[in-house]
Amino acid sequence: MSDAVQPTAAEVRAAAEAVKTALDRHLAAVERRSGEDDPAVYEAFNQLAAAAEIYDELLYDRYDEVTPFEIPGTEDALPPYTGPEEPNAVSVLIRRDYSVAEPQRLLAQAQRVEAADYDAGPDDMDASGTVHGALGLLFGEFEPDEIASRHKEFGLEEGDSTLWVTAADEQADPGEWLEAPFEAVDPQRVVCRFDVSAVFDDELDDVDEPDEDDEDADDIEDDLDTELDEDEDLEPLDSDR
């Protein structure tokens, strides 16, 4: 970053003061919390996260330093549930991402589907010749869950996925939300959500990866077990000797 756009020392100091103020507000909200999902605590948490992020950015831009704190991203956190206690209806929102890892395999599978469809009209017979046409054929032929379980057969590679269950007072009228199915999702009506991402696997690998000392200890233990097994093969001594 050039000197012309670097934050001033005063701006960094002001951001640090804002973090201190946000810390005090967060502690006060926690001390006064009215329940496990107190909205005041949630709001104070977001304010603290925002203030800390601004301070961290300014500190880095001015002094090339960072803070040792890591606050979970608020964009993935859900606010306290404020929906009906006894929902009369639920909506299930699912997103699954794939990359087209093997286009030729995808096209071949689509061509098989197309060849088996004896009712296909002349305008549909070349749909499997393009990747977007092949995707349309396969997702029109198979249920999303079947594609998820057989994605490698179709030349697809899994990415992130998420499933949200939202509560509603009553079921929507037929066709009511079809034009914009994911537009009006109220985060405070999300009953639960389930996320799948390779990021979580990477975090587990970082935590569970054994160091060299642990591996050496395991090797020694294996050698001892082998020696004990060999000793067990020896004939017992005659007690009368």
Q: What is the pLDDT of residue 123?
A: 53
The H or E element spanning position 228 is helix 212-232
Q: What's the CA gap between 158 and 97, in Å, rounded? A: 6
- Answer yes or no: is 229 within a domain: no
Query: Do 122 and 12 belong together in one domain?
Result: no
Q: What's the CA gap between 7 and 4, in Å, rounded? A: 9
- Answer yes or no: is 171 within a domain: yes
Query: Do 114 and 18 belong together in one domain?
Result: no
CB 164 within 8 A of CB 93: yes
Query: Do 135 and 164 belong together in one domain?
Result: no
Query: Do 52 and 88 belong together in one domain?
Result: no
Q: 39-63 vs 9-31: helix axis angle to the nearest 10?
A: 160
Query: Do 144 and 169 belong together in one domain?
Result: no
Query: Do 92 and 170 belong together in one domain?
Result: yes
Look up the domain containing 117 and give its range: 102-154
Query: Do 143 and 183 belong together in one domain?
Result: no
- Answer yes or no: is 216 within a domain: no
- Answer yes or no: is 126 within a domain: yes
Q: What is the pLDDT of residue 238?
A: 46
Query: Do 171 and 92 belong together in one domain?
Result: yes
- Answer yes or no: is 111 within a domain: yes
CB environment 178-204: b (16+ within 10 A), e (fewer) = eeeeeeeeeeebbeeeeeeeeeeeeee
CB 137 within 8 A of CB 113: yes
- Answer yes or no: is 225 within a domain: no
- Answer yes or no: is 18 within a domain: yes
pTM: 0.52
How many structural domains is the chain composed of? 3
CB 128 within 8 A of CB 135: no
- The residues of the chain scoring below 50 in pLDDT are 1-2, 74-75, 224, 228, 231-241
Query: Do 144 and 173 belong together in one domain?
Result: no
Query: Do 142 and 193 belong together in one domain?
Result: no
- Answer yes or no: is 73 within a domain: no
Residue type, 179: E
Query: Do 90 and 111 belong together in one domain?
Result: no
Query: Do 131 and 19 belong together in one domain?
Result: no
Q: What is the 3-state secondary structure (H, E, C) of 40-108?
A: HHHHHHHHHHHHHHHHHHHHHHHHCCCCCCCCCCCCCCCCCCCCCCCCCEEEEEEEEEEEECCHHHHHH
